[in-house]
Structure formats: C-alpha cells, structure tokens
Amino acid sequence: MPMNFGCKLSDLIATSYRYHFSHHLRNDFSLMHFLSCQFTAAATDVKSPTINFAELQGTFYGHKGSLSNENVIDHLKICSNLRHLESIYACIVKNSYNQDCFMINQFVSACYAFYRIDYAIQAFSQMDDPNVFVYNAVIRACVCCSSPIQALGFYLQMLSAQIAPTSYTFSSVIKGCALVAQSRIGEAINGHIWKFGFKSHVYIQTALIDFYSSVGKISNSRQVFDEMMERDVFAWTSMISVHARAGDLVSAKKLFDEMPERNFASWNSLIDGYARIKDVESAEVLFRKMPKKDLISWTTMINCYSQNKLYLKALATLDDMTAQSIIPDEITMATVISACAHLGALDIGKKIHFYLKKHCFNFDVYIGSSLIDMYAKCGSLDQSLVVFYKLPEKNIFCWNSVIEGLAAHGYANEALRMFTRMVKDGIKPNRVSFISVLSACTHAGMVNEGQSWFLSMIHDFRIPPEIEHYGCMVDLLCKAGLLEDALQVIKEMRMEPNAVIWGALLGGCKLHKNLEIAMIAVDKLMILEPDNSGYYTLLVNMFAEANRWSEVARMRATMKDLRVEKKIPGSSWIEINGKIHRFSASDKYHESCKEIYLLLDRLSEWLRTRVDGYAIGLLEYSRLFVPTKKDMLHSDTTCKDP
C-alpha cells in the first residue's frame, strides 16, 4: 500500500513495528509471565554461599586496614582461585563497595569465570540500584553458566526497573533464547530489538542469525541476513555456517564466493559442511586452496577424513600438520587416536600416547575415552584398563569405552560388573551404555541376562530402545539358535528394521541352517540393499550346502540379471614399524608387490614340500603300524592300536 511521507517519523516506525511483529507480540505478555514463573522457580534453587567474612578478610589483607577501590579491582583481575574470590568479596562488603556498580560489575564478571553464578547473584541481590552495566554482567554470567531462564528473568527485572537495554544486553539475551530453544521467546525478543532501535546493529543481527538456526528456522536466519544494511565478516561467516550445518552447500558456497573478505572461520565452516555430506573431494579442494591454515583448519580436515573412514589420510594429515609447526590440541589428538582404533594401529597409538605425555597434554575425558577405546580395539585390554583407572575424572564416555572393551574381549561378567559400578558411582547410563551391555551378553551367549537388561533399560532407566538395541537382541537370539524369537522381536520393533537387523537374522540362519527364515530375510534385504552381493552369496552358499542346486542356479541367474557383483573387494592391513600396509585379493599396487609375490611363491613351494613330506610320513607310519589284509592272514598275533 502507498506510504504517506507526510506523516511523522515516529508514526512510520510504530507502523512498521506493528506490521512486522504484531503476530509475535500478541503472545509477548504470556511469554514474559511464563519466564517470570520459571525464573522464580529457578531462583529458589540457588543457594546463597556461606562465607566466613572475618576469616576471609584476614586472609585477603591481614590486619593492615582497608584497601582502596583500585586495589580491589586489581585483585579481581588477577584472581586465580575460588578462595581468593571469596576473600575479595569479603573485602568488598566490609569496605561498603557492594553498592558500587563498577565494582560489582567486575566482581560478577570474575564469578562466571569460576562458574559460580550463586556468588554473582548474591552480590547483585545486595545492590539497591544496579545500573545497566551490572544487569548486563549478571545476564551474561547466567548465559555463560548455562542458566538461560535466570538470564531472561534478570532481563525482565531490568525492564521492570525502567532501565533501557543496550546492544550488549541483547547479544546475551539472544544467546539465552538459543539455549532455551523456544522460538516464540526469541521472536518476542526480536520485537524488543526493533522497539529499542537496534534492528540495524550488526552484532545483534548476527546473534539473531545463529538463534534462528538453533531452532531450525533457516529461512528466518537468511531473512535476517538479507535484510542487514551492513554486514561484517562475522555475519557472512555465520550465515555460511548455518547453510553448511543444514546441508545446503550450494547456498553456502555461493555466499562464500560473494564474501568481500574471508577469515579462517569461513573456510573452516565450508570444509566442515562438505565433510558432513561426505563430499571429501570438495573439502580437499577447498583445504588446498586456503592461503593459510590454522589449527581448526587442520583439525577439521582430519575430522573430515575420520568421519568418512579414511583413517590413513587422517594420520597422514596429522604428519603434514606437525611438519608445518602447527601444534595439535586435545580435540585433534582425540580424533587421531580414534583413527588408530579403527585401523588397529597399536604402535602408532602408543607413539601418540607418548607424545601426549611428553608435551603435557591435559588427559581430559575426551582424550581418555579415546585412548581406552583405542587400546581395547587394538587388542591391548590391560593397557586400556590402566588408562581408565588413572583418569582423574571419568564421564559417561570413559565408562562406555571400558565396558565396550571388556565386552568385545569376551569378559561379559566383568563388563556387567563395571556397568553396575558406574551406576553406583552416580553416572547415569545412556543408550550407548546399553549397546555395550547387550553386546557383552551376546558375546557370552547370556540370553536371559540380555533380555533382563533390555527390559531394565526400558522400565528402570526410561531409555526407549533404538534400532541398535534391537540389533543386539536379534544377534543375541540368533546366535543362541532362537530364530523364531528373533523374527518375533523384529516384527514387534517400534521402527522399520534396517539392513543390519535383517543381516543379523540372515547370519543366524546361516549358522543354524534355517533356509525358511533365511529366505524371508533375503527378500527384505533385496529391497533395502539391492546392490549388496554379500546377502545373495550367503543364501547361494546355504542352498549349496542343502544340495538344492536348482535354487543355486536360480539365485545366480537373478544376481546376473540384476547385475549384482562385489564392487569393492575385501581388504586387510597390517602395521609394521609404525606404517600401515593395506592389501586386497590380487592386489598389485603395493610398492613391494614383486617381492611379496616372490616370497609367497617360495612359501607356497615350501609348504607344498612339507605337506607332501607329511603325507609320505603318514604313509610310512601306516605301513609300520596298520596291518594289511595280507599281514592279518599270515600273522598269528592280533594287531593292536599303537
């Protein structure tokens, strides 16, 4: 509709504000009421810290008298532990600095560095008239300490006190909305951004881009980006990252090409996006084009290779990275250790472990769980347990890794005992924990125990079974010969069974020679994975073992008609002197191919000679000790077994 340019500017702003946000702000009051109730409930859970002021005052400045405002702030800047922080607060109270907005602002900022939101809230609550900077500090502290409801509650208090928010207020509040993951609350805050005149603020608009993407509204993110009158490199990078995380690499690459200038984050976001959609080639091209690479660039590429099962390339990239004098961090090393686990490269894994010790890496739960998993998968269960017991802190990932390691090595009872100990230590099991538990029962053939744990997972721990849990149960029942029960479990699944489930059933049928159920499984697998030759071959072998040659011929004809063949040959690898050597059938690509085949020919000839000699020896042995018919006719004695 045509706009009347003769009207007042304030009317234009009000009209625009109502037009864009009236449908969001209808629920504004109800949302704010909801937040107020949630904030009140959350506030009651925060316990005020008990501080012995007399003792702490003496600790802080002895008996020399009071300290100046500047000295207290200097101590806040160099505060290194919680005891020191408590002493500073005691000094603030004694010297009546607890009404000084600048002082409390600095103290609150120091509190969230130690994740002590209770100290920050107590100091804030003692103030009679906090200004906008103190509100900003306490809101930011709540967000940084993962207390978004309290952050939004303080924002409400701020509005009630008639204090106008600043750009710093909204940047923290928007992050709080993302943590709450409620799009309606964020949209109401977006209305406030317009109301207080920050709709063109680059930093706030960039925060909104991230917020909308966190609640799955990619189109809203793009709308905010497109409507920005000014964009900096961080806004461009945020939008590229949003598209990349959503799998829309076409849009991400288009924006990347349009960027006026690029930073490390923009390159890394796009590489990570290609890794997510398994486009390794595009990720490699982009990585090679980078004018300069930082630690995150190298780690992203290593993670790309690891995610796509190119573990040798992941290890090679680490070598290239260190050759460029880039020092890896804990995230890089955890990824590389995981690659060693998948390759079974124990020697390389040990060298990496030594490197971690030599360079004083922090053995956190991520590196710890990776080492536990690596040693277990490489066959060194004792070393895996040593790492586990030496870890100063253990989370669910560490426990899951050691339980899985014990299960894979056949120590089912020990794995179950470790699980029980984990629960007693207050670690709540997750879905992965029960996959390890059910796998332990499968390895040991403990059908009753497996069924009991499966039911306990559902009823006691309130974890709904996922397809991996059903897969474990099918595998457990199949290996025990309970194929009918396994088929019934599949029929009762709450989701559609995948190829892994039917493949496990087919494997059980092969083991127990049940052609009837095997054909049911193959019929399903032909639909789910029509190009997988393994299932067809397994059924052909079963028909051959049952001498049903007509069925063998029919299946082979079907495979030929469907052009089903083994496209990727099986391969194996060995580790020699820290180097991985990979082989497949009729492989002629290895650098020592001629020497290997020459040695195999010699070995084959030697074995043939030994086998022939063994056969001749057996023949001579039989002539000496086993009587022939002629011997029996001419012998007066009865021949006895040697």
Residue whose tokens read 């998993």: 373
Specify the DSSP class assigned to residue 639: -
In this prediction, residue 299 carries a pLDDT of: 94
Contact between 385 and 366 under an 8 Å Cβ cutoff? The reply is no
> Distance (Å, rounded) from C-alpha 394 to C-alpha 422?
10
Question: Which tokens belong to 440?
Answer: 């332990």
Contact between 184 and 177 under an 8 Å Cβ cutoff? The reply is no
Are both 13-199 and 465-587 of the same fold? yes
CATH 1.25.40 correct for 13-199: yes
Name the β-bridge partners of 574: 581
Buried b (16+ CB within 10 A) or exposed e, 576-610: eeeebeeeeeeeeeeeeeeeeeeeeeeeeeeeeee
Question: Which tokens belong to 20?
Answer: 């864009």
The CATH topology of domain 465-587 is 1.25.40
DSSP secondary structure string for all residues of 463-483: ----HHHHHHHHHHHHHTT-H
> Distance (Å, rounded) from C-alpha 485 to C-alpha 497?
15
Contact between 211 and 225 under an 8 Å Cβ cutoff? The reply is no
In this prediction, residue 589 carries a pLDDT of: 64
What three-state secondary structure class fits 49? coil
Contact between 441 and 414 under an 8 Å Cβ cutoff? The reply is no
- Contact partners, residue 241, CB within 8 Å, separation at least 6: 252, 265, 269, 273
Q: Sign of dihedral through CA atoms 67, 72, 78, 79?
A: positive
Residue whose tokens read 């699980």: 419
> Distance (Å, rounded) from C-alpha 496 to C-alpha 491?
9
Name the β-bridge partners of 579: 576
Domain assignments of the chain as residue spans, ordered by start: 13-199, 465-587, 590-626
The amino acid present at 159, given as its one-letter code, is L
> Distance (Å, rounded) from C-alpha 342 to C-alpha 170?
45
Query: Which whole-number Å values give the CA distances from 434 to 125, 389, 420, 428, in the listed order?
Result: 45, 21, 12, 11
Contact between 139 and 156 under an 8 Å Cβ cutoff? The reply is no
Question: Which tokens belong to 502?
Answer: 């039917």
Residue 493: what are its φ and ψ, rounded to 5°?
A: -60, 145
Q: What is the mean pLDDT of each run of 10 residues along the chain (642 residues)?
A: 34 36 42 48 45 45 51 72 77 77 83 81 86 91 86 88 89 87 81 84 89 89 90 92 92 93 91 92 94 93 93 92 92 93 90 91 90 93 94 92 93 94 93 93 91 93 92 92 92 89 88 86 82 74 78 75 59 65 65 77 74 48 41 40 36
In this prediction, residue 428 carries a pLDDT of: 92
Say if residue 439 is exposed, middle or buried (CB neighbours under 10 Å; 0-12, 13-18, 19+).
buried
Secondary structure string (H, E, C) spanning 548-597? CHHHHHHHHHHHHHCCCCCCCCCEEEEEECCEEEEEECCCCCCCCHHHHH
Question: Which tokens belong to 583?
Answer: 């082989």
Specify the DSSP class assigned to residue 3: -
Residue of 366, 312, 376, 367 whose CA lies nearest to 339 = 312
Residue 581: what are its φ and ψ, rounded to 5°?
A: -115, 125
Name the β-bridge partners of 576: 579
- 60: how many CB neighbours lie within 10 A of its CB? 20
Contact between 147 and 117 under an 8 Å Cβ cutoff? The reply is yes
In this prediction, residue 297 carries a pLDDT of: 94
> Distance (Å, rounded) from C-alpha 492 to C-alpha 494?
6
Calculate ∠ Cα 368-372-373, nearest 5°.
Answer: 115
Maximum C-alpha span of the chain? 137
Q: Sign of dihedral through CA atoms 251, 257, 260, 262?
A: positive
> Distance (Å, rounded) from C-alpha 477 to C-alpha 487?
9
> Distance (Å, rounded) from C-alpha 296 to C-alpha 438?
37
